[in-house]
Amino acid sequence: MFEMKNATYSYDGETTALSALNFTIVQGEAVAITGDNGCGKTTLLRALNGLMSPVVGEYYFDGALIDKRALADASFAKTFHRRIGFVFQNADAQLFCGSVEDEIAFGPRQLDISESDSRRRVDDCLALMRIENLRRRAPYALSGGEKRKVAFAAVLALNPEALVMDEPLENLDASGRELVLDLCRSLKSVGKTLIFATHNESLVSEIADRRMRLERGEIVNIEDVR
């Protein structure tokens, strides 16, 4: 599903952030990306979402080359973005609507589904993340953990085939962490691809099939953890 061939990414064409990445992630797989702070985990997740283009090498999603040229085609870019959900590390930056309900409905309202189906998705996502009580609240005014749950719900409402998560357990209390772990297990069981950057070992051991370890922008190890 995801394939990088000798892909090198840089900021502003000057600072190399990731160099010569070679890996393949298949549909339904769960891959943990680990490494020290600043090793390039977030950059790799951004690259997988097409927010950066390789300066050298290639990145393929489902056999299609993902680069600036491909993403300049709005129709292709939208299809690509709909198939991959991205939960940012900073949930605060991910939320931009006036209420939690609008935030979750933002994606479904753009799809060719009826308003009632769109509402049903919102209700289901609220229930899934156990945030029904936050429905009318402004995301801006929520706590860090609540924002994280809303961010998850907003991404799930688009029904992505792959979920890319940056530190998914950050800001969550014990019950919130258990909720997300449980959700990841369920998503994996229905064939969703999960890719997450984390420092949390329990997330790696319970969810991941493989662990990709980064050091200074390079993959130093890919190992099976199942």
Q: Which residues bind another protein (CB under 8 A)?
A: 12, 46, 49, 51, 74-75, 77-79, 81-82, 84, 86, 88, 90, 92-98, 106-107, 109-112, 117, 120-121, 124, 128, 140, 154-156, 158-159, 161, 179, 182-183, 185-187, 189-190
Closer residue to another protein, CB minimum distance, 79 or 133: 79
Closer residue to another protein, CB minimum distance, 173 or 215: 173
Closer residue to another protein, CB minimum distance, 4 or 158: 158
How distant, in Å, are the alpha carbons of 27, 196, 206 from that of 201?
23, 12, 8
Q: How far is the CB of 81 from another protein (least distance, A)?
A: 5
Q: How far is the CB of 93 from another protein (least distance, A)?
A: 4
Q: How far is the CB of 141 from another protein (least distance, A)?
A: 9
Closer residue to another protein, CB minimum distance, 93 or 220: 93
**Cβ(126)–Cβ(168) below 8 Å:** no
Question: Angle between the 144-156 and 174-189 helix axes, to the nearest 10 degrees?
Answer: 10
Q: How far is the CB of 222 from another protein (least distance, A)?
A: 26
Q: How far is the CB of 5 from another protein (least distance, A)?
A: 24
Residues 146, 151, 152, 153, Cα dihedral to 10°: 90
Closer residue to another protein, CB minimum distance, 20 or 111: 111
How distant, in Å, are the alpha carbons of 78, 118, 159, 175, 195 from that of 29?
23, 28, 17, 25, 8
Q: How far is the CB of 94 from another protein (least distance, A)?
A: 4
Closer residue to another protein, CB minimum distance, 133 or 221: 133
